[in-house]
Amino acid sequence: MASCPLFLLVPRPPPSLVGADRCPGSAGCSDLPTSCRPHPGRRHGYPFRCNSSSSSSAPRERPPRQRPGGRGDAIDPVGFLTKLGVSDRAFAQFLRDRHKALKDRRWELCSRFIDLKEASSGFELLGMHRHRQHRIDFMEWAPGARYCSLIGDFNQWSPTENCAREGHLGHDDFGYWFIILEDKLREGQEQDEYFFQEYNYVDDYDKGDNGIDADEIMRRMKEEYWEPGEIRSRQSQLEMVVKLYEQMFGPNGPQTEEELGEIPDAQTRYNEFKASQKADSSSQPSYDIIDNGQEFDIFSVVTDRASFEKFQAKKPPLAYWVEMRKGRIAWLEKYVPTISHKDKYRVYFNTPDGALERIPAWAAYVLPDAEGKQSYAVHWEPPPEEIYKWRFGRPKVKGSLRIYECHVGISGSEQKVSSFQEFTSKVLPHIKKAGYNAVQLIGVVEHKDYSSIGYKVTNYFAVSSRFGTPDDFKKLVDEAHGLGLVVLLDIIHSYASADELVGLSLFDGSNDCYFHSGKRGHHKYWGTRMFKYDDVDVLHFLLSNLNWWVTEYRIDGFQFHSLSSMLYTHNGFSTFTGAMEEYCNQYVDKDALIYLILANEMLHRLHPDIVTIAEDATFYPGLCEPITQGGLGFNYWVNLSIPEMWLWHLENVPEQEWSMNKIIKVLVSSNQNMLSYVENHNQSISGRKSFAEIILNSRECSVGSVDDNLIRASSLLKLMKLITFTTSGGGYLNFMGNEFAHPEKVEFPMPSNDYSFELANRQWELLDKVFHKHIFNFDKDVMSLDENERIISRGPPNILHCDDTSMVIFFTRGPLFFIFNFNPQVSHQSYRVGVDEAGEYQLIFNPDETKYGGCETLKSSQYMRRTFDKRADGCRNSLELALPSRSAQIYKLVRILRI
């Protein structure tokens, strides 16, 4: 990134953002022409097409776009610039051009998929799905392939038995392949006579299992549902046509035009027909069509009122049709599944460069090969009695978002890969006890390389098999919801694994399927592939992937990982100063920005309570602004400068020389909707130390007794945590174990450590140690204080006092005020700070208490302070407080004094 420390850059995220319970406004796709209808083959795997009633050769015109009626929904592509006070013509023009490109991209998507809901529901068709008519449908996108088939245990890995063939919806113009796997009739069973006879694989029992013959059902329907004469009119439709023909032309109709003669006009023919039907008019409804020679006369139906009302009152014969649907009991008697639950399979392509075997891109479960060579997809279709049944509804976050970041694999104490089940039973209760209301999971999506922490994703629709099954993950999410925890997923759509055997790279043998070709398709430093965000089918894949996790696993939100990798063609690895020109120059990927807008628009429209978080080291302007005002529509943005700032101070600056102004500038420079953290997994991964390890091993802590070292170490760590938490803009994050000062870094097994699991775990036993228990008590009570007082969900901090000499910081948020003394040596017996409101202030939190590992320097008589009528810090009133070294205090206004 930049040559200077990241925290020295002035962050420019959006102060105002759309709340988690509000959907960012957008133009949407409601302006499509009425002639756009689903292509008939769409439900069989074909993308939607627009059919015009006019000539197909005529150019298609765009409909006029209507401006939203509400004033708050008015679209202004540069609206947020005025709010932020930014006046940059080049960037404003870039936003206008981006908005035009966004409208074009919306139109392109809607021309294929009708709307964003359809464009993000690809998982309903692609991949492998059971059809209700005793079969399984498989669909895959591979435009570069010339032949496609399924191979696996179910057909002895034959590349020819189950293939996409012409005449079987095999291949469409967009490169989608479609394969039907028919269930097999058991020996002695015969095919059903009626094509609409259904065998529902999921329903355990319904009326169709009562053994009634289909012919008997049809007979009962004729006798009980149709009135006398009605069924005859429907059975003899062709007979009526024949009689009309004979009446007009005789038994032996004319063979030539000369024999035909002159045909009477339509009205005459109609009158003659009505006259011949008078004798039998009571037994059938009088629905007639008058042909006036117009183009659409077929729709001009004339009927009498009595027949119309009679038709409207009649209900469809659902009771009989239900009996034509048989349940799982009948299905098991008649059929054997062509591919069974847990069968292995791959997709087979014939390409210009030869035959390929790939893991389907939409596979929901992937397992490694027993020999560790090539993985395979697993057909996950458990029987109804084994399907996971959800027990709890989705919780809603009230107030602030307190996130506990986790990696399931390293969540146990043992030196191994932990499972979803172990995480559910052991870690989730701890998270609830610690006072957090959200759990954020990293490394959950399937990846081949465990040492990548999960960031080199290979299979975007599959949970990592090394942790458990899809149902195990559903139980994890469900139990978290039962504890009142929302579940967030760290999603990696900024790049993908370059693995060709398991991942998407060269998926169909071509270089331009999901990713850019050439240098642009490869990350300059990480060896990963870069998505082609301007391709409609790639957008279909990515948008559907987001919707899949919310729909299938009930995920409550996403953190979009490493946006700087996708927003810039230099992948964020460039000297960066934060000038506005760098947000709109030739290195900015406009298509990636448009994808993020569409992703937020889709998520908030379909799931109004969804939470989206942007992780961008460059502080791209408008991250959290509404889409209608030119923003990207995220709910929160991550301030990556804060941990870099703390790390820089710990490693490079003696504690007595820390600058309070620099610290507070990074913490509150742009506070609203800011997700803050002291350290996440990045601060302790692969060679880097955790902050607890840095502080415990620092020079200052090596002097004095063991007790003094721990007290000094804990006091500094508590100050860093508390000021970061209390200045955040509505969201706070903590990495697993840091709530009790985990002293060890994290290092995943890799060749450099001989694939050791020694540091790929968490030492939960430390919670029984005095020092770590004190830190945990402190962290837990801070979370509890926020739950009760709504600290970080209030307005932004009002900085009243920041002194580099005394190393004291004082600020207020609503009726609460916070004071910090970072000086490692100097205590103040009577330190004066200014407050606007005269009254009595109660000490509600003191990290120096003995239960937090402090010295409890303050006496109980000092817990209530009353203001003085003396000006300080530009305020009319002031307080005199005792500030021990390395201490902090939180006061609350409990009584207002009127003078």
Write out the catalytic residue numbers. 615
CA angle centred on 574, ends 570 and 575, rounded to 5°: 155
Three-class SS of 754-780: CCCCCCCCCCHHHHHCHHHHHHHHHHH
Q: Contact at 8 Å (CB) between 446 and 464? A: yes
The CA-atom distances, in angstroms, between 155 and each of 27, 148, 150, 160, 340 are 48, 15, 9, 9, 11
For 181, the enclosing helix (H) or strand (E) is strand 176-182
CA pair distance 775, 325, nearest whole angstrom: 62
CA pair distance 880, 867, nearest whole angstrom: 8
Q: Contact at 8 Å (CB) between 533 and 539? A: yes
What number of other Cβ atoms are within 10 A of residue 385's Cβ? 8
Three-class SS of 88-125: CHHHHHHHHHHHHHHHHHHHHHHHHHCCHHHHCCHHHC
What number of other Cβ atoms are within 10 A of residue 858's Cβ? 19
Strands 808-813 and 816-821, sheet pairing: antiparallel
What number of other Cβ atoms are within 10 A of residue 238's Cβ? 8
Closest among 382, 391, 388, 389 to 328, alpha carbons compared: 382
Q: Contact at 8 Å (CB) between 596 and 533? A: no
- Could you give the 3-state DSSP secondary structure of residue 147? strand
**Size of the chain in residues:** 899
Q: Contact at 8 Å (CB) between 707 and 694? A: no
CA pair distance 544, 551, nearest whole angstrom: 10
Q: Any bridge partners for residue 817, and if so which?
A: 812, 891
Closest among 731, 503, 570, 717 to 639, alpha carbons compared: 731
CA pair distance 65, 27, nearest whole angstrom: 9
For 649, the enclosing helix (H) or strand (E) is helix 641-652
CA pair distance 537, 892, nearest whole angstrom: 55
Q: Contact at 8 Å (CB) between 14 and 631? A: yes
CA pair distance 427, 438, nearest whole angstrom: 13
3-state helix, strand, coil split of the chain in percent (to 5) is 35, 20, 45
Q: Contact at 8 Å (CB) between 624 and 614? A: yes
Please enumerate in sequence order all residues whose Cβ is within 8 A of that of 885, keeping only pairs 6 or more positions apart, or say none. 821, 823, 824, 825, 826, 827
| Residue position matching structure tokens 């319904």 | 206
CA pair distance 683, 6, nearest whole angstrom: 14
CA pair distance 638, 563, nearest whole angstrom: 11
CA pair distance 457, 504, nearest whole angstrom: 9
Residue 568 per-residue DSSP state: B
CA pair distance 135, 201, nearest whole angstrom: 10
